[in-house]
Structure 1
Amino acid sequence: MTLDIGGRSASEIADSLRALIERGDLSPGELLPPVRSLAEELGVNRNTVVAAYRQLTQAGIIVTRGRSGTRVADLSPVAQEGFAAGSVLRDVGTGNPDPDRIPDLTGVLTGMAGRPVLYGEPVIDPGLERWATEWMRAGLPRENEMRLTITSGAADAVERLLAQALTRDDAVALEDPCFLTSIHTVRIGGYRPVPVPVDDEGMTVAGLEAALAQGVRAVVHTPRAQNPTGASLSEHRARELRAVLRDHPFVLVVEDDHFSLLSRRPFHSLITPDQRRWALVRSVSKFLGPDMCLAVTASDPETAERLAMRLTPGTTWVSHLLQRLTLALVTDAATMAAIERAGAHYAARNAAFVGMLADHGMPAAAGDGLNLWIELPVPARGVCEQLMRRGWLARPGDEFALGVQDASHRLRLTVHDLDAHDAARLASDVAASVRAAGGRLAEPEVA
């Protein structure tokens, strides 16, 4: 199709392209003419077309992909965490914590309100700040000066951290496979995701090196219970990755330790005294419930100041009622004991289900976190279709993939809230679905 692109100035060319996109003459993902050929066709200087493309890139209308060319931005929605709306199937792909494992709030609500908070007062509750300082400091280098910021959850923190450091089309290193919210945040922000493969020990060294060579300006990673794989950084891998980052002190390193108090694994950070721009984010949503929209961010002073500036135009602070409720819960011995039991519960249920799969000839490993990442001998989409016929709704691995190929042969399952009978039925149905999709299973080990 010949495109009717016109204009002599950068603004005119940009307006012409925008009109084609708005009319649907150019579709999401469609390739635009190379700069040189469009400049020759319009009889303008090459820099004029470069400027037009830059205007549209900054507006998020088109994206540049280097040698892959410039394309119309694809704003199709990213899959989201949570229950699938309107489904009659048993949903085992939610990624949700067990509601029965979320502490009861009623016992502390009446005594935590206190006096009203007015404009101009400190944005962090003093009691929460004292507790959070000790919580966040553990595992970070003592040499690093640290400031705290409270945001409305981890996703809010990561979005604002990237926004204060990046501009559209800047490159961001993301784990691959990746947490769905991170994919969504980077896409909506207009940044360019650079996938870094993840194995059982976290981000790979070669993958991070390759991402840094492509000029990423930020690295977002999960030190424990990576979603969807359940991987956690080993001490050895963390040391190797810190050595790689040592030559890139001004790259923003964002650590999303979302599972924190529930984790069964030690915390190993990538942040060193040499890292000039860094942030550690810990949300309370996994252990106090998704409706407790609060996260604590520890960061270097400059990043903290920039993050505070990003909060100013909107919600200047997170509700002090919510902050006091959080403090009351995390300083309550019974609540902390319940959180510890919840962490043990998730680990035990996941391990038990992995054993059930092994009984059906499907070897798997239980990482840390709320989910299981199951390897399949056939594409997961076909297995999911077969599971639907058996009454289950699961998530195929390619929903979490940026570039990794084996994700299409992975299944992410959330099974910790199934009782023993339903867990056994699901394990049997997964095996049957694999066979129905054309896969062959190993012979179960005989005790």
Structure 2
Amino acid sequence: MFGIYLSPTAELSKTAQLCSQIRKKIEKGELSSGTRLPPTRKLAQELGIARNVVIDAYEQLVAEGYLIGHAGSGTYVADGILSFTSSGVQPEVTVEASEPQGESKELREQQEDMIEFGIGTPDLESFPDTLWSKYLKAAVVESSRALFDYGDSRGEEELRVEICAYLYRTRGMRCHPEQVMITSGSSEGISLIATALRAQYHSIYLEDPTIEFTYHIFKQNQYQIAPVDVDESGMELHELDDFADRHLLLLTPSHQFPTGGILPIQRRQQAVRMVERADSYIIEDDYDGDFRLKGIPIPPIYSLSPERVLYVGTFSKTLAPGLRLGFIVLPQHLIKRFAQLREELNLRTPTVPQIALARFMRDGRLDRHIHKMKKLYRQRRTLLISALKQHFGKRARIIGDEAGMHMRVEFPEGPFLDDWQESIAYGVKVHSVEEYSLVKGKHLHQIVLGYGNVQEHDIQKGIERLYQFYVDKAQ
């Protein structure tokens, strides 16, 4: 049906294969807007696969914006997706990001049992420390003495090969080891991009709100910052009348930070068209794309335009931030420029952890660890949602919880607070969306709850404390 064939020997799962083939047929115009897809049961019978595989694929493509579902009617190809065969400027705003307010030492002393719904840190108790130490030891003992020299400034080839294989297996993303550059986390990768492209570009469109360090990196590199609002589907690219000259574009399309939106295919294609016309680039920050809690990881924008996207990845979320390991995938024509910059600055990532990670990945250990952590995060997500509904009911709206290790919670009726960190006095620490906003005052009724490194037995207690704070502030 529709010329779809699923290979039983392919590296990709049947769900990933089905998603990929439907996606490509839509992008090529073979499945046009409004086309009704077969019922899940019928397609499953035609392909000889479980119905759940088709259901998961349809749900995945609905989340990505390729399909829309009508209850009782069926599933259809969405509008606004340009076929590959087919042939707004927001005023720049100079903003100063305020530093987050830190709690006082006195409060910390008063609340030794503080429960923090922190952002961005995975469950550190689940880090495979015993296993990791064996790989580190093996890297030292079994490698040649050359390992302890300065090494290739791009990173160890063994790890770059494994990253390429991993990206293809999990994202369907094709790249060559020469395009991969190992960094000390995504922040160094983005800093390297800002430095390498500074002579050609002077401004950048940033999502608003966004992670703080991206703002600081580009500001310190003398870029003008142009904030662009985000909605529940990511950056509002349609609000840009045009793409200004000498501007870059930074996106977190698979799970917008901190709002949790997924950038649909229509906006992804629009972003690519914009940078192609402007002779510019998209910086794609895929900081937690491995932890898609519903469906499979979403294909990166990189796959739409490999020569116009710089893809930034990190192992800080999949393993631990203390490892300081990340990478960037570069367009072919930028490899030499970035390699030369790394040599000039003598920037190198420690070699032993690179070799250990390469073999950890080669042996399937990373895949198994991610599978284990996804199960854990799903459990915590379920507990957190249950606790929020129990205490807040309809007064709290949960958004952006389908991936990653955090969710956004909106309180439509207030309280509209300048400082949600006053909750520290109640023994619970949360982060407001305002902390990550470039233009202040738009998100006073929204918070971000991270659950990656909060233990399950603390979730219920933490939400109880947050609810008491909410009640007192709402009076």
Residues 298-356 of structure 1: CA deviation (Å, up to 9, x unaligned): 11123222222221233343222121011122223344312211123223312321222
How many residues align structurally?
A: 365
Any stretches of 5+ residues in structure 1 without a counterpart? Answer: 1-64, 440-447
> Residue in 2 aligned with 1:101?
126
Q: Shift of residue 234 of structure 1?
A: 3.2
Q: Tell me the distance in 1 between the aligned counterparts of 2:409 and 2:246.
A: 30
- Correspondent of 1:426 among 462, 466, 470: 462
Q: Tell me the distance in 1 between the aligned counterparts of 2:473 and 2:316.
A: 37
Q: Once superposed, what is the RMSD of the aligned Cα atoms?
A: 3.3
The answer to whether the 8 Å contact 1:224/1:267 transfers is yes
> Residue in 1 aligned with 2:351?
320
Q: Tell me the distance in 1 between the aligned counterparts of 2:103 and 2:371.
A: 29
Q: Tell me the distance in 1 between the aligned counterparts of 2:332 and 2:133.
A: 37
Q: How does 1:22-101 map to 2 (within 5 A)?
A: 78-79=99-100, 87-88=108-109, 89=111, 90=114, 91-101=116-126
> Residue in 1 aligned with 2:339?
308
> Residue in 2 aligned with 1:375?
410
- The letter of the residue matching 2:408 is W
* 1:213 and 2:213 aligned: no
> Residue in 2 aligned with 1:229?
259
> Residue in 2 aligned with 1:356?
387
The answer to whether the 8 Å contact 2:203/2:248 transfers is yes
Percent identity between matched residues is 18
Q: Tell me the distance in 1 between the aligned counterparts of 2:145 and 2:98.
A: 40
> Residue in 2 aligned with 1:10?
none
Q: Tell me the distance in 2 between the aligned counterparts of 1:183 and 1:203.
A: 16
> Residue in 2 aligned with 1:40?
none
* 1:251 and 2:280 aligned: yes
- The letter of the residue matching 1:262 is F
* 1:263 and 2:297 aligned: no
> Residue in 2 aligned with 1:278?
309
Q: Tell me the distance in 1 between the aligned counterparts of 2:212 and 2:470.
A: 25
CA 106–310 in structure 1, closer or farther in 2 if over 3 Å, else same: same
> Residue in 2 aligned with 1:413?
449
SS of alignment partner, residue 227 of structure 2: strand
Q: Shift of residue 272 of structure 1?
A: 6.0
- Correspondent of 1:339 among 366, 370, 375: 370
Q: Tell me the distance in 2 between the aligned counterparts of 1:101 and 1:378.
A: 36
* 1:399 and 2:435 aligned: yes
> Residue in 2 aligned with 1:164?
196
Q: Shift of residue 235 of structure 1?
A: 3.6
- Correspondent of 1:152 among 178, 184, 187: 184
> Residue in 2 aligned with 1:189?
221
> Residue in 2 aligned with 1:287?
318
> More displaced, 183-192 or 140-149?
140-149
The answer to whether the 8 Å contact 2:292/2:402 transfers is no
Which has the higher relative contact order, 1 or 2, with Cα contacts under 8 A spaced 6 or more apart? 2
Q: Tell me the distance in 1 between the aligned counterparts of 2:139 and 2:404.
A: 30
- Correspondent of 2:138 among 84, 98, 111: 111
Q: Shift of residue 233 of structure 1?
A: 2.7
CA 429–169 in structure 1, closer or farther in 2 if over 3 Å, else same: farther
Q: Shift of residue 172 of structure 1?
A: 0.5
Q: Shift of residue 168 of structure 1?
A: 10
> What is the TM-score when the length of structure 1 is the normalising length?
0.72
Q: Shift of residue 281 of structure 1?
A: 1.3
- The letter of the residue matching 1:227 is F
- The letter of the residue matching 1:338 is H
> Residue in 2 aligned with 1:57?
none
Q: Tell me the distance in 1 between the aligned counterparts of 2:260 and 2:441.
A: 18
> Residue in 2 aligned with 1:199?
231
Q: Tell me the distance in 1 between the aligned counterparts of 2:328 and 2:120.
A: 23
> What is the TM-score when the length of structure 2 is the normalising length?
0.68
CA 84–131 in structure 1, closer or farther in 2 if over 3 Å, else same: farther
Q: Tell me the distance in 1 between the aligned counterparts of 2:119 and 2:252.
A: 19
> More displaced, 277-286 or 233-242?
233-242
- The letter of the residue matching 2:415 is V
Q: Shift of residue 122 of structure 1?
A: 7.4
Residues 155-212 of structure 1: CA deviation (Å, up to 9, x unaligned): 10111111111259921111111012212212222211111222232222314x34x5
